Chain A
Amino acid sequence: MLKRIIHFSTLKISKTLCTSSQLSNSLENRTNDLTPSTLEPTEPESKSVLEPLNEDISHVTTYLKPTYNIAAYANRSETIQEFIKLGVDLNHIERKVSNAVPFILRLHFEEVKKHLLFFTNVGINIDDVAHLITKNPFILKESLEDLDVRINYLKFKRFTDESIARIITKNPFWLSYSTQDIDTKLGFFQATFELSGPQVRQIADQAPRLITHNQEKVKLNVFVLKEEMGFSKYDIQNIILKKPKILMSEQKKLLKTFEYLHKVIGLSHQQILECPQILTCRENRLKERHQFLVKMKRDQFNPKEPNFVNVITMVSGTDSEFSTEVAKSSVEEYNLFLKTL
């Protein structure tokens, strides 16, 4: 009977060894050190449970209990420690992509290393790699061959090496899309706005996030530009070549800014087309500065008359620059004015 009990308990130990080794990296290293013979129950007949134990069993530990925070694993997992040294914001991952945490815990750093090398070979800064993993940790799930194919696709489409690096750093999700997806997305922009090859490349380089942005929202913004604002097809093409980010802005805000520019300030469509970046300006900022100019009687937006004020110079620059150079007044006066709004 005693023999059976001893045999059972040793079996149990070896079982916990196996399962816990799957859990933690550090534990696995230790089990690797052990020779196979130690794993097997050694001479259970000669030993009694009451005899003092000489061998080291400190590696036999319980599982980590369920935790609320990745910090519980930080001192045990080599991957997490390496990620911290790299500068990956694990807290961000935990808050925003919570399903990535179990995935990261199962990773072996040796495999991750290959990915990191791949990204640096593409020409991305090591700081940007950390940012890339922070934003899109599941990129480590993609196989290296797939990533290579996706990079080759961009090269085939005659993107330069710098623009490829820029695209991947600015849009961490780009490489998670298959080549077919990216191809249809690029094709969508080419077809909708009737762009040439270099123009598509220019947009992808200027605003890499736009390409993978939700296409329904892009279509909605095109509708806003075309039907609600009244720009022609050719105008829209001009706008997105100069400022592709407009297509990613929120449709209500975009319309409000346009309405203020067109109805209150009185800019024509042609004037807005000359500097489409004005459409990305917040309505509040536009309102504050325009109303101050009205108060100072300097709201003259006709380029053919004296004392012309350019809208771009009006909204860009700090408040002190604006109040002294554009409004020909002082910051104190502008601040006092802001306290009446």
Chain B
Amino acid sequence: MLVQEAPIVWNSLKGLICVYKPAEVSVHKMRKILISKICQEMNSLEGRPPSDYVAIEGDPSQKLTVSVRPNFADHPLVVGPRYQNQDLHVSWSNFLGFYTNGVLLFGIRDGTRQAKFIRENRPTRAYRIKGKLGEVTDNCFKTGKVVMKSTWRHVKQEHMDRFLSAMQASHQKKMFEMCGVDIQSQTAYELAIQGPIRPANSKIPIIYGIKCIEFQPPEFTVEIQCINEYEDYLTHIIHEIGQKLHSTAHCTGIQCIRHSRFTLEHALLMKHWTLTNLLKNMDVCSKILVESGENLPRKSSRLV
């Protein structure tokens, strides 16, 4: 059971939360909904009583009377509810596109610092991307207009696997090449043991792992571990896969299944956004944060 005093709850309401973002709801909208839900519930709790108004009245030439009465200027009906939407700072640590669903991290109040650290530490994210062979759309996603059709029955799973592993290898090789080190050298080894090699620029997407986990033609699902990716990049990967397999493909769904160590099981559905659930989720998230060491800024191996 939650404490009924709003200021106590407000003081404990700082940290990181992990929520589930459905497709076709923007991150901005989610943030707005989260803020208004929290404020609404905070205002329904017992707020701070209005401050006292000290009135000094009477004739100044005679004796003045001092009286204390409730201050109307501090009444919630006049100055507005005690907790207002603009007072609550919320920021996200990973941006998901409009059509992407999955794990989303929000920093609330002091948690915005942690959200920033996670963003700047650039942990890997895992995506599950669904594609469909045989059709190309103008934006490479299912919402677009179909611009081309092709045959797909000749595409087999081994073709797909072969191409995907080649793609993964080329991405990893490229990272070492761009570092300027020979992959057979000691420096390359020392670079590799520091963890995944991250590009210096946070705008360059890099894939660390890609594999096909489901293949039921024409539909297939690909799982990707990557950093610095964005929605268009992921949809275009599916498009590229289709082309390289001598067919065509478009993306039908993108789901972020892991961000750093936060997975779908930690994610809170929008209908469960109540103060009690959010505070519980905050506890869980802070434990994961300490375990993973993401709560501190980290020096990562990167291109020099």
A interface residue numbers (CB < 8 A to B)? 54-56, 58, 69-72, 74-75, 80-81, 83-84, 87-91, 95, 284, 319, 335, 338-341
Contact = CB atoms under 8 A, between A and B. Distances in A.
Interface residues of B, number: 26
Contacts of B75: 74, 84
B79 A91 contact: yes
Interface in B151-195: none
B78 A74 contact: yes
B267 interface: yes
B60 to A, nearest CB: 5
B101 A341 contact: yes
B29 to A, nearest CB: 12
Contacts of A81: 72
Interface of B: 20, 22-24, 53, 55, 59-61, 71-81, 101, 255, 264, 267, 269, 271
Given A91-B79, A338-B269, A54 B61 contact: yes
Contacts, number: 61
A77 to B, nearest CB: 9
A113 B28 CA distance: 46
A70 B75 CA distance: 11
Given A84-B75, A338-B20, 7 more contacts: A58-B60, A69-B78, A69-B79, A71-B79, A72-B73, A87-B77, A91-B77
Given A58-B60, A88-B77, A335 B269 contact: yes
Nearest to A54: B61
A80 B74 CA distance: 13
Contacts of A56: 59-61
A340 B20 CA distance: 10
Given A339-B20, A339-B264, A341-B101, A71 B77 contact: no
Nearest to B79: A71
A253 B267 CA distance: 29
A75 B72 contact: yes
Contacts of A95: 80
Contacts of A72: 73
A91 B78 contact: yes
B115 to A, nearest CB: 21
A80 B79 CA distance: 12
B271 A319 contact: yes
Contacts of A88: 77
A282 to B, nearest CB: 12
